[in-house]
Amino acid sequence: MTIAEKVAHLKGLMEGLNCDDKILNAITDILEDLAYDVEDVQDALAEVGEQVELIDEDLEALENDYYEYDDCCCDDDDCDCDCCCDDDDCDCDDLYEVECPACGEVICIDGCIVDEGEMDCPNCGEHLEFDMEEEEEEEE
């Protein structure tokens, strides 16, 4: 039984008892208003919950599209692949800013992408290649 139904039942009992007490009638009117307000809030909350679920699903799809390189097949210790995550000196935590020569967008990438040597710009789709050997030679 909802709050509004309980208040309606209470009003019916008061009418059945021929209760003409002004204070009790005022209290039941206030309870009735509160019950309708609570129902409105519950309806709005349910709608917001549905919207949050849709946003969460959309965000998950975006993460899967744009952060594919974060998904590593090496979660298993017995993995025999050539992924950089098998290396003890993996620099996946290093971040680099790269400017796309086609669109000028600055992209933040991690060391694993640099080690792979290539990727497509998420903004314009231009194929980008990285050669860190030249930069390492300049530092020496």
* pLDDT digits 0-9 by tens, 53-88: 999 999 988 888 877 655 444 444 554 444 444 445
Cα dist from 12 to 15, 26, 35, 74, whole Å: 5, 14, 16, 68
Share of the chain above pLDDT 90, in %: 19
Overall pTM > 0.85: no
Q: Is there a contact between 86 and 79 (Cβ–Cβ < 8 Å)?
A: yes
- Higher per-residue pLDDT: 138 or 124: 124
Q: Are 22 and 46 in contact (CB under 8 A)?
A: no
Instruction: List Cβ<8 Å contacts ≥24 apart for 107-110.
Output: 110/69
Please name which of 136, 135, 140, 117 lies closest in space to residue 127, comparing C-alpha atoms.
117
